[in-house]
Structure 1
Amino acid sequence: MKNRKLLLATVILITFIGGIITGVLISGNSSNTVKIKQASKSNIQPAEKEKPVTDQSQSKVLIGYVQDFRDPNVVDYDKLTHVIFSFAHPTKDGGMLLNGDSALGNLRKMVANAKKHDTKAILAIGGWYHINGGESYDYFKTAISDPASRSKLVNELASFADREQLDGIDVDFEHPRNEADAQNLAAFVKELSEQLHPKHKEVSVAVYSKIHAVTLTEVGFVQFDPSMFQYVDHVNIMAYDGQWDDGYNAANLSPYPYTEAIVNYWSNLFDTLQITREKLVLGVPLYAQPEDPKIKQVSFAAIIDQNEENAVNDTVSINGTTYHYNGETTIKMKTKLALDQGFGGMMLWEAGLDAHGPHSLTASIFETLKDSDNDSNKNYSSKNN
């Protein structure tokens, strides 16, 4: 019995001393302990009341393209949410080019001006004509058809966006003409978005309207892979240049019924795809088309310089030539149409063609968008009082 008690006491003593030693060892090596990863917060958050949009935070975008030769100082950055420098040009092997040092200088001035006004500065790749001659289609098509050159172009654009402090890239491939083009374009946009979105940079695409200006029906010679639209922030619809449909007719540049058909087409498409209409941006022209195709287009600024009363019209005669364009009344109607259909905003081609002063179309669109924001705020207030 005595030996049994002695044995029990010994076991208790050893256990007690062992606990002390273990505690000392753990305390002395705390720097080497494995850190347990904190469980991530649930994605399900309590519902919050929607906050009204303030005047300083415009809910709809107003995007203005700016050509590479344009003086960056003529752009009204204060009214634009985005400016898109047009264009960088793809090479067939996946490189990219700007139109000389002057274009690079203008881009950098545009970016600097944009930042002063909290306007996003974007670079567009593609466009209609290539600086090496001819349409850009063959260059762009070749670059994005091969996975190696496609990735090279994505990397070039992503690096350039970082280096030049850009807020994103706009893709203007005119036009994907078959299913292979559509799939390659979608793959390019997807890869580009995977590079830019983690850096909080935007990706947008400029798209052909898909509507014939005369018949107001869908045309099939331009094809898009619907999967592309899920990877972009904005889809900039080029709802103009209808003058070439079914024989040259300057009056078909961009009349309201043509735009209405375009808006209906894209609204229905995005509803079918279950993609928010907020991604859709309606483009309008700031230039006038001459009835004589041998004569050059003129800017809206030139139309106003000729006579300020032209601001509310859609046709004008200058030096014996009739021009067709969109005046203030039509532009406001189109803006309201886009808003009524739940579009994310408006786009201008191009910002440098606008008039300055009281007849600026940029200002007309800006005020219409702003009034819509104010009406939304009033509706919010009345519902919550």
Structure 2
Amino acid sequence: MSPDSLAVMGYYTGDGRGLERYDFNKLTHLIYSFVYLDGNKVGFRDEAAIEDYRRLLALKTRYPHLKIMLALGGWGGCEPCSDVFSSAENRQTFARSVKTVLNEVGGDGLDLDWEYPAIEGHPGHPYKPEDRENFTALVRALRNTLGQDYLITVAAGGFDEFLEKSLDWKAIAPLINSVNLMSYDLVNGFSTVTGHHTPLYSTAEQKQSTDNAVRFLLDAGFPANKIVIGAAFYSRVWEEVEKTGNGRFQTGKHVPGLRYSQLATEYRPENGYQLLWDQKAAAAYAYNAEKQRYATFDTPRSVTLKTRYVKELGLGGIMFWELPGDSDDGAMVNAIYTEKMAR
């Protein structure tokens, strides 16, 4: 597989200003996050959001290779999805509205980020078992309406319950360009026990991992070259964590984390942190014994290994949440790109 064929997909929630800090030669896709359901049609948050998106589209003048996509939903952004997409008429109207936006405003396709079909996602959001088949019908309506010229990708939970219950993998595989595995937040804000939130490999203490999700899909017959794994440009943090195991797999209280760009300043010995590496999980973490704070995150080392894993297994590429989290010198994207291009 040629290095050039590997996708490097960055999600983006900014306003489209300050884009000169990024080297888009090192990305293949930029995914504007998010658009939402307006009734049974796709809609932007407001007029300002349309202008934000247009700033991304303008990048194509300088970077004609770059695919610019819209992402629907996100965490907390798909409350009406279960109800709206239950209807064939609504699915068709939605698909036509996506085509209209892509034709009239611009863009290369849609990323479906419904969190989650058929299982509990954001607290209070409706879900039902029928979401699984309705999701397949939605993807089919989109492909039939958009044709083959537009991209359709699916942001998928990287944990067992989603993988087993949310989507009909065999049915959607021929219809989509890639599944973007959210192989992060595998321990998340609802977790009362620490762990690695974006590990490459499973361990005896933690089954959920990137490799666990990839193996599930491969075993289900999903095409390897349509699997895009995830990296996290942010940390998950817990406090009130005992020092046993340097804080790993201990009870704690989740608190807000940091962007990758802030990690080097905070997680250092001068601030009382030990910077640690789990060899089996291929995952970085940090622990502050005095403050009893534990942090889990990706680093250039871990994303290099993830990119190497993509190449070794013949996967489609790597994506990350999110581009503005990178350091000013682009350390995370550079690490991915350097490994991508390595022979």
| Bin of the TM-score, shorter chain as denominator length | 0.7 to 0.9
1:77 aligns with 2:24: yes
Q: Which residue of 2 aligns with 1:106?
A: 52
From 228, 253, 256, give the equivalent of 2:197.
Answer: 253
2:255 match: secondary structure:
coil
From 174, 197, 222, give the equivalent of 2:115.
Answer: 174
Equivalent residues in 2 for 1:279-290, closer than 5 Å? 279-290=226-237
**Within 2, Cα distance between the matches of 1:311 and 1:119?**
36
Is residue 312–residue 328 contact of structure 1 (8 Å, CA) maintained in 2?
no
**Within 2, Cα distance between the matches of 1:362 and 1:280?**
19
2:147 match: secondary structure:
helix
The letter of the residue matching 1:267 is L
1:277 aligns with 2:218: no
**What displacement does 1:368 show?**
0.8
**What displacement does 1:303 show?**
1.0
Q: Which residue of 2 aligns with 1:338?
A: 310
**What displacement does 1:220 show?**
4.1
From 140, 145, 164, give the equivalent of 1:190.
Answer: 140
The letter of the residue matching 2:140 is K
**What displacement does 1:75 show?**
4.0
Q: Which residue of 1 aligns with 2:151?
A: 202
The verdict on how the C-alpha distance between 1:278 and 1:180 changes in structure 2, with shifts beyond 3 A counting, is same
Which structure 1 segments of 5+ residues have no match? 1-51, 131-135, 213-217, 376-385
Is residue 82–residue 122 contact of structure 1 (8 Å, CA) maintained in 2?
yes
- What's the CA shift string for 1:227-254, capped at 9, x where partnerless? 0121001111110111149943342311
Q: Which residue of 1 aligns with 2:35?
A: 88
2:130 match: secondary structure:
helix
Q: Which residue of 2 aligns with 1:133?
A: none
Is residue 135–residue 167 contact of structure 2 (8 Å, CA) maintained in 1?
no
2:12 match: secondary structure:
strand
**What displacement does 1:342 show?**
1.2
Is residue 190–residue 254 contact of structure 2 (8 Å, CA) maintained in 1?
no
Is residue 287–residue 300 contact of structure 1 (8 Å, CA) maintained in 2?
yes
**Within 2, Cα distance between the matches of 1:354 and 1:347?**
13
The verdict on how the C-alpha distance between 1:269 and 1:356 changes in structure 2, with shifts beyond 3 A counting, is farther
- What's the CA shift string for 1:210-236, capped at 9, x where partnerless? 337xxxxx8645343530121001111
**Within 2, Cα distance between the matches of 1:284 and 1:89?**
24
Report the number of matched residues: 300
From 251, 260, 279, give the equivalent of 1:300.
Answer: 260
Larger mean CA deviation between 310-319 and 103-112 belongs to 310-319
The letter of the residue matching 2:85 is I
The letter of the residue matching 1:351 is L
Is residue 35–residue 71 contact of structure 2 (8 Å, CA) maintained in 1?
yes
1:265 aligns with 2:212: no
Which structure 2 segments of 5+ residues have no match? 119-127, 202-208, 240-252, 278-283
Q: Which residue of 2 aligns with 1:366?
A: 337
Is residue 181–residue 228 contact of structure 2 (8 Å, CA) maintained in 1?
yes
Q: Flag the structure with larger Rg.
A: 1
The verdict on how the C-alpha distance between 1:234 and 1:223 changes in structure 2, with shifts beyond 3 A counting, is closer
The verdict on how the C-alpha distance between 1:312 and 1:70 changes in structure 2, with shifts beyond 3 A counting, is farther
The letter of the residue matching 1:284 is A
**What displacement does 1:256 show?**
2.6
Percent of counterpart pairs with the same letter?
Answer: 19
Is residue 132–residue 165 contact of structure 2 (8 Å, CA) maintained in 1?
no
The verdict on how the C-alpha distance between 1:114 and 1:298 changes in structure 2, with shifts beyond 3 A counting, is farther
Is residue 33–residue 70 contact of structure 2 (8 Å, CA) maintained in 1?
yes
Is residue 144–residue 184 contact of structure 1 (8 Å, CA) maintained in 2?
yes
**What displacement does 1:328 show?**
1.6
The verdict on how the C-alpha distance between 1:101 and 1:75 changes in structure 2, with shifts beyond 3 A counting, is farther
**Within 2, Cα distance between the matches of 1:316 and 1:346?**
24
The verdict on how the C-alpha distance between 1:308 and 1:102 changes in structure 2, with shifts beyond 3 A counting, is farther
- What's the CA shift string for 1:169-212, capped at 9, x where partnerless? 111111111541111111111111122234x1111111111337
More helix by proportion, 1 or 2?
1
The verdict on how the C-alpha distance between 1:249 and 1:141 changes in structure 2, with shifts beyond 3 A counting, is same
1:150 aligns with 2:54: no
**What displacement does 1:296 show?**
1.5
**What displacement does 1:126 show?**
1.5
Is residue 182–residue 225 contact of structure 1 (8 Å, CA) maintained in 2?
no
The letter of the residue matching 2:258 is V
Is residue 311–residue 328 contact of structure 1 (8 Å, CA) maintained in 2?
no
**Within 2, Cα distance between the matches of 1:99 and 1:262?**
32
Q: Which residue of 1 aligns with 2:175?
A: 231
TM score, norm. by length of structure 1: 0.71
1:166 match: secondary structure:
coil
**Within 2, Cα distance between the matches of 1:363 and 1:99?**
32
- What's the CA shift string for 1:139-171, capped at 9, x where partnerless? 111221111111111111110011122011111
- What's the CA shift string for 1:12-57, capped at 9, x where partnerless? xxxxxxxxxxxxxxxxxxxxxxxxxxxxxxxxxxxxxxxx95x8xx
Q: Which residue of 2 aligns with 1:315?
A: 285
- What's the CA shift string for 1:102-127, capped at 9, x where partnerless? 32221110111244212100001111
TM score, norm. by length of structure 2: 0.79
